[in-house]
Structure 1
């Protein structure tokens, strides 16, 4: 079982911290999967016990993930659809459990699952409730892999085979996502629909089906996630500067969107950044 060996080839790593390793998927999967993540316990935190457990607020990013957890010699799974609301989880690195995450790009879970994504929006359930075949294949990979390199190869193979069978991402969605990534979401629904030569109504229908949220919601989530990355990267002290960069009419409109999505004001976020997590690899 791969949990006996968490070492991994350096060329596959795209980031790491004391409790997590971020791993690149196969190049043909990077359009659909942002990264794999291995999280493991901190021996120093285990010694401290439950007193070190704190909350971590996950910022919605309108994409899904699959999580496999190894604890007490048992493997369990869960799947999350596109998120539009913050989710609070425990920083439980003090517990003897290891997790393997598949973090999808927006729309990636739709291609893998073949399910209309609005049906999974803000839903958390077992992988088997979405696909028993996928659940069995991933469970097998967890069970027989000898190390992380083996696991990544097996999981890559599973997803590559699924993509070969499933229909590819809708060309309009592919184009729209590329434009949004290039502009960091700083454009209107009207501009995006015009760029793709479709009506706003049709574009919205496609976003609900393939992404799981409306076009307007996705653009708002993209802007706010981008703003959080700017806060972290450039150590902005003024929300006014951020709101101007993001094309907001004024600071109050930016603050309204930020609080609506994150549950706190930008100022509160800046004071407690370590209590929040957003996906820097997706935006």
Structure 2
């Protein structure tokens, strides 16, 4: 199993930390998959916090993921649909577990499975309950891969075949998602529907099918995730200036929206950043 050798070729790595390796998917999959991530314990920290594991709050990103979890010579293969609210998990990164994440971009999970995504929104389940054929393929890959490079190669092939088989891309959705990304979520549903020459009602139907949520929620979550990533880089976290840069009417609107999405105010978030996780490479 690849879990016994998690080394990755340098040219495939997006970023590496003592606990994470972020890996590029195949170029033809980048409009569906943001990245693969291997999460593993830091040998220097293993066991130190086993009696006092804290919580980690995951910020919603509307996209979903598939997760291999390897522990005690066995592994699980789970699936999360698009998330619209925070999820609290145990921050057990330095215990004896290795995880391999397949992190989709919004709409990516639909391209792989062909399933109406509103049925999976805010759902955590096992892959075989959603797509038995996909489960068998991913399960087999984990069993025969000798190392992480083998695993990435096989998973790329599985997803390329799945995308070709489902063939369920939609021109309006592709264009809408690109516009949202370019605008960092600073758009209205009316502007988006007008630019695509479709009604807001039709756009809502498409978003529920392909993303799992309505466009208004995706715009809000995109904007908040983008603001988090930008403020992380800023030395002076001025929420007054931020509200204007990120397209909010004023500071109070920004703080209100931030709290609605993240569960805490921006001040609390940045004061306790280690207690939160948001995607670095999707927004």
2:243 corresponds to: 243
Whole-angstrom CA distance in 2 between matches of 1:199 and 1:210: 17
Whole-angstrom CA distance in 1 between matches of 2:248 and 2:278: 21
**Contact 1:14–1:23 at 8 Å: present in 2 too?**
yes
* Cα offsets for 1:145-168 (capped at 9, x unmatched): 001110000000000011111123
Whole-angstrom CA distance in 2 between matches of 1:162 and 1:195: 30
TM-score by length of 2: 0.98
1:79 corresponds to: 79
Q: Could you say what secondary structure the match of 1:47 adopts?
A: coil
Whole-angstrom CA distance in 2 between matches of 1:241 and 1:57: 26
* Cα offsets for 1:185-214 (capped at 9, x unmatched): 101111111111111111111111100011
* Cα offsets for 1:83-102 (capped at 9, x unmatched): 00100111112311111100
Runs of 5+ consecutive residues of structure 2 not aligned to the other structure:
none
Once the 2 structures are TM-superposed, how far is the Cα of residue 230 of structure 1 from its aligned partner? Answer: 0.9
| 1:242-281 matched pairs, under 5 angstroms | 242-281=242-281
* Cα offsets for 1:221-241 (capped at 9, x unmatched): 010001101111223421111
2:25 corresponds to: 25
Q: More displaced, 59-68 or 164-173?
A: 164-173
Runs of 5+ consecutive residues of structure 1 not aligned to the other structure:
none
Whole-angstrom CA distance in 2 between matches of 1:233 and 1:127: 36
**Contact 1:57–1:277 at 8 Å: present in 2 too?**
yes
Whole-angstrom CA distance in 2 between matches of 1:33 and 1:281: 10
Q: Could you say what secondary structure the match of 1:46 adopts?
A: coil
1:150 corresponds to: 150
Matched, 1:105 2:105: yes
Whole-angstrom CA distance in 1 between matches of 2:187 and 2:20: 34
TM-score by length of 1: 0.98
Whole-angstrom CA distance in 2 between matches of 1:236 and 1:109: 37
